[in-house]
Amino acid sequence: MRLDIAKKAVAVGLGLTLLAACGGGTEQAADGPVELSFWAWAPNIDKVVDKWNASHPDTKVVFSKQAQGDDLVTKLLTSAKGGNPPDLAQVEYQALPTLVSNDVLADISEGAASAKDKFAPGIWDQVTLGGSGVYAVPQDSGPMMFYYRADLFEQYGLKVPTTWDQYAQTARDLRAKASDKFLGTFSSNDPGWFAGLVQQAGGSWWSVEGDTWTVSVDDAATKKVAQYWSGLIAEGAVDKTPMYTPEWNKALNDGTQIGWLSAVWAPGVLQGNAESTLGKWAMAPMPQWDASAPRTGNWGGSTTAVTAGSKKQKAATEFAVWLNTDPTAVEALVTESAIYPAAISAQEAQAKPPAFFPNQPDFYTQAAKIAATSSGFTWGPNVNVTYTAYKNAMGEAISGGADLVPALTKMQTATVDDMKANGFTVGG
Amino acid sequence: MSAVLVEDRVVTPTPSRSPRLRSIVSALGALPTFVLLLGAAYCLFPVAWVLIAATKSSGELFSTSTLSLGSSLLANLGELNGYRDGVFWRWMANSALYAGVGALLSAVLSGVTGYALAKYAFRGRALIFNALIAGVLVPAVVLAIPQYLLMSKIGLTDTYLSVLLPSVVSPYGIYLARIYAAASVPEDVVEAARTDGASELRILTSIALPMMVPGLVTVFLFQFVSIWNNFMLPYIMLANDGMFPVTLGLYTMLKQGNTTPALYTLVVTGSLVSVLPLIALFLTLQRYWRIDLLSGAVKA
């Protein structure tokens, strides 16, 4: 073991001593515990890491908080090219194929395959990419749900829509009763949200057979979703302000937006952005295309991955599995970082509703039922390109004239062109 | 050329002009002032917004009118102070280190290099200078990733040095120092010192550099501001959030993912606090600039 560590220390040199300021800590690594560097963004996740460090004196995880998003993927790719990636990183589901195809992530099936039973099959498929390897351990998931202002629904005599037809009708009714209010908005800024809606409608953007990819960003289900929203936007039944902007926050606060198609983590966002509406919201399942076979999509959610460049993959895998399956760890993730855990047992164990929803005591029981209807989805190796194309094309379509369907063709072309340019085989 | 002449004719008032023409001329004279005022408002309004928004609680931020003051500036500062055990102040200290040390070293390096390029004739001088000018044209953002790959070759990524070293070399600073040295250090003075037997080093430190101080202050200020505001380089170089400068730190507070609300009030308050050192620096170093302008006027 000692020799092993010394060898690693020589091999990695200064680059790995992440905490030692200005380097110069190589010899210290020879005697101390194994140090694992961990990049993540979940709030307060450092407190969960502290728990691991307290109970595992031989393996010290050094946490470093990063900014979430596509930029972090770029940073991971760059650091892997430079030869000194972190040992562990928080990675969103849709970024896994990108990182795997760039050889950034390690196959940790040896240490992590046994964790399979702890997760719903749809979630587990996302970390195996449908193959025999395991590239990450699921951390949290984001089954989509419908949130609405219960007080305003009552005031305007609206019923909670259970199908998309009803949703459209409710949106129109609301506009007729209160012309300054909207049931929801179509956000050209949030491709993850749109992808969630597409998953619910049964769309499939990527699939892979051997080495040949099939890309169908403009498939029938996606067109159906785009057409539906084009119609609502054209008749002015829904708003077209992007989400997560100051205007949108204001609209949530003052009741201009009385509904939000979001995911299980919405209570935290509402609490942060619309504090004054405490206790006025309620959650319901998504409106359905086919009421007899309820489904939902996922928006958000992330995993803990081990990098291929890490020299301590075994220890890192142990930590990744611990973080997301150990009962104390998952409980701490839920209470400290306010995530919705991917581990099934932890989903069922949540008894109290979120602090922002004191009026809905069975919030998590309902949420677990909805989560069970999540549809699977295969992400491609260049989701970032598709997402950027979404933002550009949808933004243009909305300011242009609101037919969203042609935007899908642009997304499809951009995705396929980029994959071909990067040497993927794309079949018809 | 003809355009200048026409303009001259309009602007120079002649006694034979009618009162109407004169009023048109004075209205034209007020136009630049008006445009400048518009520009000032355009630049200052965001600052005012930050100032006002920093006083609002998270409940007030998106629900009250943009220009009405909030009530919780102190609470926001307290919360910022308490965020992750005061990590914000650590980021501020890091920024001060990167910008302070980086700009100081950069000013010294620029001064010495600029002086050498201006006062010594040697083979390849024009080549070096032209390469520098080319360097001025390359945006620093483009260099961040190549610099990262170089730094990782020598094992320096994720250290204070990885951000400091690239900040020290500033083609623009050297360019400025060269121009300034050529204009403000007279050849005669250098020659006189040489005949008196002063060593080259002595001439540099006792004669040339003191004469170049206003120019070097300018270089220092430019570098300080650009390092303080730099984002891309530290973003790529640093992994350990304990070494982040304040720009990067605020970014991590803003980008916490869709699933958690951005800490808007803290970010706004943090931005306000983070520009205060820049404002203070400008106010204290401003007089050097004034001297600079005055001395220029005397020489002319």
DSSP of B58-81:
HHHHTTS-TTS--S-HHHHHHHHH
Q: Which of residues 161-190 of B touch A (CB under 8 A)?
A: 161
Average pLDDT estimate for B181-189: 90
Domain count, chain A: 2
* Confidence at B15, pLDDT banded by 50, 70, 90: low
Distance from CA of A333 to the nearest CA of B (A): 13
Of the candidates A182, A177, A150, the one whose C-alpha atom is nearest the C-alpha of residue A167 is A182
Rounded Cα distance, A379 and A95, in Å:
8
Q: How far apart are the first and last CA of chain A?
A: 52
A258/A405 same-domain check:
yes
A55/A120 same-domain check:
yes
Chain centroid to CA B211: 22
Instruction: Indicate yes or no: CB of B256 within 8 angstroms of CB of A275.
Output: no
DSSP codes of every residue in A171-218: HHHHHHH-TT-BS-B--TT-HHHHHHHHHHTT---EEEETTEEEE-TT
Rounded Cα distance, A129 and A47, in Å:
30
pLDDT tens digit sequence for A111-145 = 999 999 999 888 898 898 878 899 999 999 899 99
Any idea where the domains of chain B sit in the sequence? 81-299
Residue A1 within any structural domain of the chain = no
Instruction: For residue A338, list chain B residues with Cβ-Cβ distance below 8 A.
Output: 260
Q: Is A357 helix (H, G, I), strand (E, B) or coil?
A: coil
Rounded Cα distance, A398 and A395, in Å:
5
Alpha helix (H) residue ranges in A274-404:
313-325, 327-337, 344-349, 363-371, 383-400
Rounded Cα distance, A415 and A33, in Å:
45
Best mutation target, A65, A94, A141, A336, to test chain B (most B CBs within 10 A) = A65
pLDDT tens digit sequence for B220-271 = 998 999 999 999 899 989 988 899 999 999 998 888 766 666 678 889 999 9
What residues have CB less than 8 Å from A267, skipping those under 6 apart? A281, A354, A355, A356, A357, A363
Distance from CA of A275 to the nearest CA of B (A): 5
Report the pLDDT value the prediction gives residue B259, as an integer from 0 to 100. 66
**Residue A294, domain CATH:** 3.40.190.10
B13, pLDDT greater than 60: no
Chain centroid to CA A306: 18
Nearest to B258 among A252, A300, A339 (CB): A300
Instruction: Indicate yes or no: CB of B258 within 8 angstroms of CB of A246.
Output: no
Report the pLDDT value the prediction gives residue B112, as an integer from 0 to 100. 95
Instruction: For residue A269, list chain B residues with Cβ-Cβ distance below 8 A.
Output: 258-261
Q: Which of A370-374, B30-34, B284-288, B292-296 has the lowest mean pLDDT?
A: B292-296
* Run of H or E residues at A301: strand A298-306
Position B255, amino acid: K
Distance from CA of A67 to the nearest CA of B (A): 4
Looking only at the bridges linking them, the beta strands covering A425-426 and A212-215 are parallel
Contact A290, A224 (CB under 8 A): no
Say yes or no: A235 contacts chain B, CB-CB below 8 A: no
A50/A113 same-domain check:
yes
Alpha helix (H) residue ranges in chain B:
2-11, 19-53, 58-61, 73-82, 87-119, 125-137, 140-153, 160-168, 171-184, 187-195, 200-202, 209-211, 213-229, 232-237, 246-254, 264-299
Output the CA torsion B128→B132→B138→B139 (10° steps): 140
Say yes or no: A18 contacts chain B, CB-CB below 8 A: yes
Position A303, amino acid: T
* Confidence at B290, pLDDT banded by 50, 70, 90: low
Chain centroid to CA A213: 23
Q: Which of A1-5, A151-155, A291-295, B190-194 has the lowest mean pLDDT?
A: A1-5
Contact A218, A408 (CB under 8 A): yes
Rounded Cα distance, B88 and B248, in Å:
11
- Hey, what are A210's tokens? 């051997």
Nearest to B239 among A21, A64, A142 (CB): A64
Instruction: For residue B158, list chain A residues with Cβ-Cβ distance below 8 A.
Output: 15, 18, 84
Instruction: For residue A276, list chain B residues with Cβ-Cβ distance below 8 A.
Output: 59, 63
A19, pLDDT greater than 70: no
A421/A325 same-domain check:
no
Homologous superfamily of B81-299: MetI-like (1.10.3720.10)
Distance from CA of A324 to the nearest CA of B (A): 17
Residue A124 within any structural domain of the chain = yes
Say yes or no: A274 contacts chain B, CB-CB below 8 A: yes
* Run of H or E residues at A91: strand A88-92
Report the pLDDT value the prediction gives residue B258, as an integer from 0 to 100. 64
pLDDT tens digit sequence for A141-185 = 899 999 999 999 999 999 999 999 999 999 999 999 999 999 999
Best mutation target, B158, B164, B251, to test chain A (most A CBs within 10 A) = B158
Rounded Cα distance, B47 and B37, in Å:
15
Report the pLDDT value the prediction gives residue A17, as an integer from 0 to 100. 34
> Any idea what DSSP says for residue B243?
G
A244/A386 same-domain check:
yes
Of the candidates B48, B192, B199, B171, the one whose C-alpha atom is nearest the C-alpha of residue B113 is B171
Report the pLDDT value the prediction gives residue A62, as an integer from 0 to 100. 93
Rounded Cα distance, B238 and B249, in Å:
11
- Hey, what are B59's tokens? 């409940």
Instruction: Indicate yes or no: CB of A265 within 8 angstroms of CB of B259.
Output: yes
Say yes or no: B251 contacts chain A, CB-CB below 8 A: yes
Rounded Cα distance, B22 and B13, in Å:
8
Distance from CA of A247 to the nearest CA of B (A): 8
Nearest to B157 among A66, A82, A275 (CB): A82
Instruction: Indicate yes or no: CB of A69 within 8 angstroms of CB of B255.
Output: yes
Nearest residue in A to B158, CA atom: A18
A293/A189 same-domain check:
yes
Q: Could you tell me what percent of chain B has a pLDDT over 70?
A: 88
CA atoms within 13 A on the CB side of A293: 6
Best mutation target, B260, B265, B267, to test chain A (most A CBs within 10 A) = B260
- Hey, what are A144's tokens? 């989509």
Rounded Cα distance, A37 and B239, in Å:
9
A276/A160 same-domain check:
yes
Instruction: Indicate yes or no: CB of B145 within 8 angstroms of CB of A78.
Output: yes
Report the pLDDT value the prediction gives residue B17, as an integer from 0 to 100. 61
Rounded Cα distance, B68 and B51, in Å:
11
- Residue at token pair 């046994």: A114
Convert B23-54 to b/e letters by CB count within 10 Å (16 or more is b): eeeeeeeeeeeeeeeeeeeeeeeeeeeeebbb
Say yes or no: A24 contacts chain B, CB-CB below 8 A: no
Report chain A's mean pLDDT, rounded to a whole number.
Answer: 87
A78/A192 same-domain check:
no
Backbone angles phi, psi at A274, to 5 degrees: -140, 60
Q: Is A296 helix (H, G, I), strand (E, B) or coil?
A: strand
B8, pLDDT greater than 50: no
- Hey, what are A51's tokens? 């728990």
- Residue at token pair 């060593």: B199
pLDDT tens digit sequence for A301-327 = 899 999 999 999 999 999 999 999 999
pLDDT tens digit sequence for A248-303 = 888 998 899 999 999 998 988 888 788 888 899 999 999 999 999 999 999 988 99
A408/A285 same-domain check:
yes
Instruction: Indicate yes or no: CB of B259 within 8 angstroms of CB of A271.
Output: no
Contact A15, B152 (CB under 8 A): yes
Instruction: Indicate yes or no: CB of A249 within 8 angstroms of CB of B255.
Output: no
- Hey, what are B117's tokens? 């390029």
Rounded Cα distance, B277 and B222, in Å:
14
Average pLDDT estimate for A51-59: 93
* Confidence at B69, pLDDT banded by 50, 70, 90: confident
Residue A370 within any structural domain of the chain = no
Who has greater pLDDT, A47 or A25?
Answer: A47
Instruction: Indicate yes or no: CB of B158 within 8 angstroms of CB of A244.
Output: no
Strand partners, A304: A90, A137
Nearest to B148 among A82, A192, A339 (CB): A82
Residue A6 within any structural domain of the chain = no
A92, pLDDT greater than 50: yes
Length of chain A: 428
Rounded Cα distance, A24 and A360, in Å:
55
Instruction: For residue B258, list chain A residues with Cβ-Cβ distance below 8 A.
Output: 190, 192, 244, 265, 269, 299-300
Report the pLDDT value the prediction gives residue B286, as an integer from 0 to 100. 78
Contact A171, A238 (CB under 8 A): yes
Average pLDDT estimate for B153-157: 89
Report the pLDDT value the prediction gives residue B66, as an integer from 0 to 100. 78
Report the pLDDT value the prediction gives residue A9, as an integer from 0 to 100. 42
- Residue at token pair 């040199």: A13
Chain centroid to CA B88: 22
What residues have CB less than 8 Å from A325, skipping those under 6 apart? A115, A118, A137, A343
Nearest to A14 among B155, B235, B258 (CB): B155
Say yes or no: B227 contacts chain A, CB-CB below 8 A: no
A64/A212 same-domain check:
no
Looking only at the bridges linking them, the beta strands covering A34-40 and A59-65 are parallel
Report the pLDDT value the prediction gives residue B20, as an integer from 0 to 100. 79
Report the pLDDT value the prediction gives residue A16, as an integer from 0 to 100. 34
Instruction: Indicate yes or no: CB of B148 within 8 angstroms of CB of A64.
Output: no
pTM, two decimals, is 0.79
Instruction: Indicate yes or no: CB of B255 within 8 angstroms of CB of A41.
Output: yes
Beta strands in chain B (DSSP E): none
Residue A4 within any structural domain of the chain = no
Nearest to A68 among B61, B148, B256 (CB): B256
Rounded Cα distance, A159 and A182, in Å:
15
Instruction: Indicate yes or no: CB of A71 within 8 angstroms of CB of B255.
Output: yes
Instruction: Indicate yes or no: CB of B260 within 8 angstroms of CB of A42.
Output: yes
Best mutation target, A194, A273, A310, to test chain B (most B CBs within 10 A) = A273
pLDDT tens digit sequence for A232-246 = 999 999 999 899 888
A14, pLDDT greater than 70: no
Give me the total of CB pairs closer than 8 Å, taking one residue from chain A and one from chain B.
127
Say yes or no: A192 contacts chain B, CB-CB below 8 A: yes
Say yes or no: B60 contacts chain A, CB-CB below 8 A: no
Rounded Cα distance, B111 and B104, in Å:
11
Residue B204 has a CB neighbour count (10 Å cut-off) of 19
Contact B178, B111 (CB under 8 A): no
Best mutation target, A45, A64, A334, to test chain B (most B CBs within 10 A) = A64
Average pLDDT estimate for A328-345: 88
CA atoms within 13 A on the CB side of A345: 12
Q: How far apart are the first and last CA of chain B?
A: 24
Best mutation target, A73, A275, A276, A339, to test chain B (most B CBs within 10 A) = A275
Residue B18: left if φ>0, alpha if ψ -120 to 50, beta else—which one? beta
A76/A204 same-domain check:
no
Rounded Cα distance, B4 and A28, in Å:
72
Range of the domain at A313: 31-141+301-350
A42/A124 same-domain check:
yes
Of the candidates A85, A117, A45, the one whose C-alpha atom is nearest the C-alpha of residue A306 is A85
- Residue at token pair 């581990």: A343
Of the candidates B131, B133, B142, B201, the one whose C-alpha atom is nearest the C-alpha of residue B166 is B142
Residue B128 has a CB neighbour count (10 Å cut-off) of 14
* Confidence at A208, pLDDT banded by 50, 70, 90: confident
Q: Is A62 helix (H, G, I), strand (E, B) or coil?
A: strand
Position A27, amino acid: E
